[in-house]
Amino acid sequence: MLTGKQKSHLRSLAHHLNPIFQVGKEGKNENLIRHIEEAIETRELIKISVLNNSIEDPKEVGEWVAEASGSELVQVIGKTIVLYKESKDHKTIELP
């Protein structure tokens, strides 16, 4: 569980990142989770965007993806989701 100070630090790091995954009209699926797990292991901090044609609520998608991938939901702002998970092999982010 992340503290408020840690979430604030991660939000500032994520500000300059571009989303690397998109949730579209097909919504949530296991294939998406598999790709997110692989990406978050190497990057630790990722952004996901929920497209306008998606019928899914971004907050629900964020909670579902975080739980399914074993990561922490840092922020959902608009249609953008920020996730964090400490990497076992590629640790680069030091939390306060």
Retrieve residue 23's tokens: 């949730």
State how many domains the chain has: 1
Decide if 93 is inside a domain. no
Output the CA–CA distances (angstroms, integers) from residue 11 to 38, 45, 77, 87, in the order listed: 21, 10, 10, 17
Query: What pLDDT digit, counting tens, does each position of 31-82 carry?
Result: 999 999 999 999 999 999 999 999 989 999 999 999 999 999 999 999 999 9
Domain that holds residue 65: 4-84
Retrieve residue 1's tokens: 């569980």
Residue 89 has pLDDT above 90, yes or no: no
Query: What pLDDT digit, counting tens, does each position of 4-26 carry?
Result: 999 999 999 999 999 999 999 88
Decide if 27 is inside a domain. yes
pTM of the model: 0.93
Decide if 24 is inside a domain. yes
Confidence of residue 27 (pLDDT cuts 50, 70, 90): confident
d(CA 59, CA 93): 25
Res 69: pLDDT: 94
